[in-house]
Amino acid sequence: MAGELTVTTEIKDALVILGAAGIVIPVFARFRVTPIIGFIVIGVLVGPYGLGTWASEIAIIDAITISDPARLAPFADFGIILLLFAIGLELSFNRLWQMRKLVFGLGSLEILIIGSCGAAFLYFVNGMDRTGALALGFALAFSSTAIVLPISGTRSQVGKAALSMLLFEDIMIVPIIFILGALAPNAQADGVSGMVTTLWQGGLVVGLLLVLGRFALPRLFSQAARTKSPEVFLAATLLVVIGSSLATGATGLSPIVGALIAGLLIAETEYHGEIESIIEPFKGLALGIFLITIGMSIDLRTIWSMLGELTVAVVGILVFKAVITGILLRLMGARRSTATETGVLMASPSETTLIVLAAATSALVVDRETAQFWQIVTAIGLTVTPLLAKLGRVIARRVEAAPELDEDDRHEARTIIVGGGRVGLLVADMMDKHGQSHVILDSDPDTILAANRKGYRALFGDASRGDALSRLGVENSPAVVLTMDQPVLAQRLTAKLRAEYPELLIVVRARDTDHAAALYRAGASHAVPENLESSLQLSEAVLVDIGVAMGPVIASIHEKRDEYRERIETEGGLETKPKLRPS
């Protein structure tokens, strides 16, 4: 009977979670509000401090509530692991190497300065003992990887700055927790020796993962691809993520380090685009579970009874972290708008704050009552992070304005170029050369300002959210060109545009031929793989320079391009490619 009860309870919890996802995602999308807030609100409602208060008295309430949030903790942790894996997929070792100054410069300064200043305040003003003040100060210095990065992305200037700080924070989790263990009564020697052991064993495991991954992953995914089965591809992906996370976790390092390394290794293969598409739904659901657990920890009655103290603490920590982070970014050369938006976005404490507080409580360096107070502050901070993101964008535009969408000329028939990077600007140059009207749309204020300074017509707006494209008159546009280097986003936006505008010409930048095939399945009129075009250009250059006549070379290049395009369209599931024309 006990076994049956456990299974029933777990199934009930799973159904509550899935039901919450089924309600939150479409409802909040309808009102253009981030689902992050929705999941946290659901957590408050279905948790032990919400409707769960009456669960023992009313059967129907017991059926839709979760009485023990701890049961969801492993799934929430897995959501964070998948999030770090997805971040690794968007990066590469080359890009990470280029960010090393930001990660170890900006990242180290941010956590050391905020942690030290916070500890000093708690020691001199609040009267905490030195050890407890250090533990709490550094706990509050962390920001939320799980919430910040889905909001900011990793491609914009704000996203890059946030990513660099968050990566360093993830690295610092291990030494901080071990130092807290060393500070515990009668545990100093074990703590220091344990940290040394973890560092050398962890370094060895990371090195092995890097070496083995370079050789094994391409072969593993090549075999998975030959099966033509998405299930096998998913199984191989989960095997890699879980295996690398377990390997780093076994040495004492955080499992998210292994997940990040797995993502970085797969990003170097030609299969990363397909893998991003496959894990996206699972990542979103697992992240939703994490956010629901955060909501479950919020006791509205406790908040009401301590409203004054909690308000002062929350506002104080948000303002303090936003100001320090913004100043550091300005000193590192960031624009005022980037520094402002990133500072406000990074102001909340983190899920890692809860981990460090738990370690500090176990080490007896922070008393339980103080830890519970700051756990509530952290939960409130995590809840308001999406609102902080919106506030940061508003303040950033006032500090250093970027051009807004202009509705006066929405009826003009012009090509919309989504993305103002090097590819988008090159497309704009070719449009100008042939006298074609066009406009660039980008969600990064720094990119917009840079493009406008160079003389381009560039406007601020997020093509993936709201009605940005509609306000630009996409229904009258002869074409939309998607140039961003974000495979999953490009695929989603392509499918959305094709569903809303069946006759629209949609030309999309693809990372490789596999991504191009996926884009054709999503409804792209033309998908242009970067690796194919670079190969054709290399071939043209060498053939002409070794003496082959220009005419035959160009003809053969066109023939080869058509041959590859036909092959990609066939792989994309299109027997005959329709010639879509704008109406």
Average pLDDT over residues 539-543: 69
Give percent of the chain above pLDDT 70: 82
Residues 6+ apart with CB under 8 A from 32: 465, 466
Q: What pLDDT does residue 86 have?
A: 77
Beta strands at 479-482 and 415-418: parallel, antiparallel or unpaired: parallel
Q: What is the pTM of this model?
A: 0.61
On the 0-12 / 13-18 / 19+ scale of CB atoms within 10 A, 116 is: middle
CA triple 241-40-496, angle to 5 deg: 65
**25 vs 514, more confident:** 514
CB environment 14-30: b (16+ within 10 A), e (fewer): eebbeebbeebbeebee
Mean pLDDT, to the nearest integer, of 93-119? 84
With H, G, I as helix, E, B as strand and everything else as coil, classify residue 349. Answer: coil
Angle between helices 130-141 and 107-124 (to 10 degrees): 140
Mean pLDDT in residue range 492-514: 86
What is the average per-residue pLDDT within 205-224? 84
pLDDT of 582 reads 40
**CA torsion, ordered 416, 420, 423, 425, to nearest 10 deg:** 80
Of the candidate ranges 13-22, 198-207, 383-392, the one whose mean pLDDT is the lowest: 13-22
Rounded CA separation 343/285 (Å): 28
Q: Which residues of 82-91 are buried (b: 16+ CB within 10 A; e: fewer)?
A: bbbbbbbbbb
**pLDDT tens for residues 293-334?**
778 877 888 888 888 999 999 999 999 999 999 999 988 888
Per-residue pLDDT for 583 more than 80? no
Tokens of 530: 């970067």
**Window from 237-251, 344-358, 456-470, 504-518 with minimum mean pLDDT:** 456-470
Give residue 361's pLDDT band: very low, low, confident or very high (50, 70, 90): confident
Element (H, E) at 339: helix 336-345
Predicted confidence (pLDDT) at residue 44 exceeds the cutoff of 50: yes
- Residue 157, pLDDT > 80, answer no
Residue-wise pLDDT for 443-481, tens only, equals: 776 777 778 778 888 887 778 765 678 778 888 888 999
Domains of the chain: 1-63 (no CATH), 71-299+350-366 (1.20.1530.20), 415-571 (3.40.50.720)
Q: What is the pLDDT of residue 347?
A: 92
Per DSSP, the residues of 352-421 read HHHHHHHHHHHTTSS-HHHHHHHHHHHHHHHHHHHHHHHHHHHHHHHHS--PPP--TTTTS--EEEE--S
CA–CA distance, 402 with 447 (Å, rounded to integer): 9
The pLDDT value recorded for residue 195 is 62
The confidence band for 412, taking pLDDT boundaries of 50, 70 and 90, is low
Q: Where is 200: in which H helix or E strand?
A: helix 188-226
Q: Which residue has the higher pLDDT, 317 or 520?
A: 317
Closest by Cα among 27, 9, 116, 123 to 66: 9
Highest mean pLDDT among 98-102, 251-255, 329-333: 329-333
Q: What's residue 447's pLDDT?
A: 79
Would the pLDDT of 189 be above 60? no
Long-range contacts of 155-159, Cβ-Cβ distance < 8 Å, separation of 24 or more: 155/90, 155/444, 155/484, 155/485, 155/486, 156/443, 156/444, 156/446, 156/447, 157/334, 157/335, 157/338, 157/444, 157/445, 157/446, 157/447, 158/338, 158/341, 158/342, 158/345, 158/444
For residue 128, CA distances in Å to 138, 151, 314, 317, 549 come to 14, 35, 18, 17, 81
Indicate if the alpha-carbon torsion angle 500, 501, 507, 512 is positive or negative.
positive
Q: What is the pLDDT of residue 2?
A: 46
pLDDT per position as a tens digit, 258-292: 888 888 888 777 777 677 777 777 776 777 777 78
